[in-house]
Amino acid sequence: MHVVIVKHPDDAADYSAKIFVRQILRDPRSVLGLATGTSPVSLYQELIAAYKAGEISFRDVTTFNLDEYLGLPCMHPQSYQYFMAETLFNHIDINKERTFIPSSNLENTRASCIEYENNITQRGGIDLQLLGIGRNGHIGFNEPSSGLSSRTRVKTLTAETIQDNARFFSTDESQPELAITMGIGTILESKQIVLLATGQAKAQAVVSAIEGPLSVFCPASALQTHVNTVCVLDEAAASLLQHLAFYERIDTDSGNLMFE
Ligand code: F6R
């Protein structure tokens, strides 16, 4: 794993956005894996700005989102379908027929999970996958105890995740406890992965993912086995790492080779 530590959350968004811009410039037909939540919002704003400045076009890009709540109608404001439309897709020139999000439909979930996997494969696999990280180390909705080779499937959300995401739901709304998520095995097949984590609340999950043992109890630790993952952290999220100086030295030595 390549660990990049920047000062502020905005710098982390900026660094990650550059990786996405570079990918789209290198291959305008890129297949991107996208995430929801708070972490990617500034990054998406930077991508929108790059599109509006004429730097990039999403016309031929395909996207696959990591996850979706099960049972929420797609136009529900807390559905990830709605989030993606509002936060990114409505502001860029992407063909919405090439934006894929796991189905929230409670029926035929098994078939829709298989279809999602097949769709990713048929489109040549994911070139660049964006990840946030849960306080419990989840990636997508692969909660602790998720199989490290798991595929797209239904997962029960932990009490911690339900509580973390309660901030998005009003008190009179019932919050889903099930989700469909790409599996860890699905995520690990992406050619490149960017994990974006900011804020002190993520520091423990970050240290477990990067320096802890490979364990189903920190699903993000599976990224240790991936050949091309960059963890982009602000100082707060990186604050518990034991080998900070070493990561900074590697980053300086590599001289941001990624952007050559
Ligand atoms: C969202 C997702 C989740 C989030 C994670 C962090 O699609 O898959 O794994 O990335 O829960 O959420 P935030 O960014 O809201 O802290």
Q: Could you report the per-residue pLDDT of 26-85, keeping only the tens digit for each?
A: 999 999 999 999 999 999 999 999 999 999 999 999 999 999 999 998 889 999 999 999
**pTM of the prediction?**
0.96
pLDDT at 237 over 90: yes
Looking at residue 207, what is its pLDDT? Answer: 98
How high is the mean pLDDT of the chain?
95
Residue nearest to atom 9 of ligand 1 (CA): 140
Measured CA distances, 48 to 87, 100, 128, 236, 254 (Å): 9, 19, 17, 26, 29
Alpha-carbon span 138 to 140, nearest angstrom: 6
Q: Is residue 72 lining ligand 1, measured as CB closer than 6 Å? A: no
Kindly give the distance from the C-alpha atom of residue 196 to the centroid of ligand 1, in angstroms, as a whole number. 10
Which atom belonging to ligand 1 lies closest to the Cα atom of 37?
A: 15
Q: Is residue 198 lining ligand 1, measured as CB closer than 6 Å? A: no
Banded model confidence at residue 137, pLDDT cuts 50, 70, 90? very high
Cβ contact 23:47 at 8 Å: no
Question: What is the torsional sign of CA 191, 238, 208, 167?
Answer: negative
pLDDT at 25 over 80: yes
Q: Is residue 66 lining ligand 1, measured as CB closer than 6 Å? A: yes
Alpha-carbon span 216 to 169, nearest angstrom: 29
Kindly give the distance from the C-alpha atom of residue 14 to the centroid of ligand 1, in angstroms, as a whole number. 18
Kindly give the distance from the C-alpha atom of residue 132 to the centroid of ligand 1, in angstroms, as a whole number. 5
Looking at residue 230, what is its pLDDT? Answer: 97
> pLDDT digits over 177-197, tens only?
999 999 999 999 999 999 999
DSSP per-residue codes, 196-239: EE-SGGGHHHHHHHHHS--BTTBGGGGGGG-SSEEEEEETTTTT
Kindly give the distance from the C-alpha atom of residue 80 to the centroid of ligand 1, in angstroms, as a whole number. 11
Banded model confidence at residue 173, pLDDT cuts 50, 70, 90? confident
Banded model confidence at residue 253, pLDDT cuts 50, 70, 90? low
Cβ contact 244:206 at 8 Å: no
Looking at residue 259, what is its pLDDT? Answer: 46
In this structure, of 160-164, 235-239, 247-251, the range with the lowest mean pLDDT score is 247-251
pLDDT at 260 over 70: no
- What is the token pair recorded at 55? 């730097």
Greater confidence, 204 or 257?
204
Looking at residue 162, what is its pLDDT? Answer: 94
Catalytic residues: 67, 136, 138, 143
Cβ contact 79:104 at 8 Å: yes
Looking at residue 73, what is its pLDDT? Answer: 87
> pLDDT digits over 95-115, tens only?
999 999 999 999 999 999 999
Looking at residue 256, what is its pLDDT? Answer: 52
Please, what is the angle between helix 9-26 and helix 41-52, to 10°? 50
Banded model confidence at residue 257, pLDDT cuts 50, 70, 90? low
Q: CA 231, 198, 40: angle at the middle one, nearest 5?
A: 80
DSSP per-residue codes, the chain: -EEEEESSHHHHHHHHHHHHHHHHHH-TT-EEEE--SSTTHHHHHHHHHHHHTTS---TT-EEEESEEETT--TTSTTSHHHHHHHHTGGGS---GGGEE-----SSSHHHHHHHHHHHHHHTT--SEEEE---TT--BTTB-TT--TT--SEEEEPPHHHHHHHGGGS-TTSPPP-EEEE--HHHHHTSSEEEEEE-SGGGHHHHHHHHHS--BTTBGGGGGGG-SSEEEEEETTTTTT-TTHHHHHHHHHHHTTGGG-
Residue with tokens 């696959």: 64
